Structure 1
Amino acid sequence: MATSDTLLRWRIPLTLLVCAISIFAFLRRPDTTPVDFAVELRLSSTSVSPGQVVVPELELRNAGTNAARHRETTIRLYINGERWLEEPLHLPEPGRTETLTRGAGWSAPAPGSYEFRLVVDEAKRLHDTNRGNNSVTQTVTVTAPGQ
């Protein structure tokens, strides 16, 4: 009888665990719906002095004709190869755009050139038919005062 009680006691937690794993696996699997998402990066300025702030505006456009099964993706902004921003972003419907503006902005350090690279779906969870428009790069030049 003790064996039967033990099995009953573990049946519900095990069932819940199996359900949770199944749901997690479903949500983590790649989306097979063919989509085309494109990014655009607008900067408040591409030529600044040290200490000036550059405000990036990140745009994600659904350039395709399908809506993705997943409702969000990750958009990342790198500055000189270092991740500066990583945000979840709602996937827009076909023909629509989602925009994210970072009000705090990036404070320009020492003089030099800084590469801003914006990437969407870097983990490749979406079945994007045109990965050529999933990233964009712009350069910001920081000049010494008086130059």
Structure 2
Amino acid sequence: MRVSAKGRYGLAAMTHIASQYETGVPITIISIAEKLGISKIYLEQVFSLLKRANLVISIKGAQGGYQLAKAPVKINALEVLSAIELSLFEKTEAATSNHCPEIDKALQNSIFTLLDNSVQNLLSNITLVDLVIEMEKNKSEEALMYFI
């Protein structure tokens, strides 16, 4: 499984918004782009997909931006990646080009379905709150290392 740059940026942007959730202030794409060091235009594409999946809402106007559509504890990594990575869990092609369907079925049942289910289960158990906690922990560790 390979997560594209778009998927990684989506997770990073959602983690950033989740870290600001308690303020209730909409976060602009420009501020997210500056924080993450990525293109504003690229982020607009990501947020279009996140909005379509009802994971964020857009606020219009001078004080506008994006907010999470629900609490960070109710949004998981699977939802974010599924909104952005449209082919994340698509079925794999037949390994034997239909010459030996019993092998293909064995591979599908013994490996690929189990793998997909395991990855989906893992991602569905990681919320944005978990990512924010990990981010804060890493931030604290960096600060400690800087002063040693």
Calculate the TM-score normalised by the size of structure 2.
0.23
Calculate the TM-score normalised by the size of structure 1.
0.23
Larger radius of gyration: 1
> Quick check: which one's helix share is greater?
2
> Quick check: which one's strand share is greater?
1
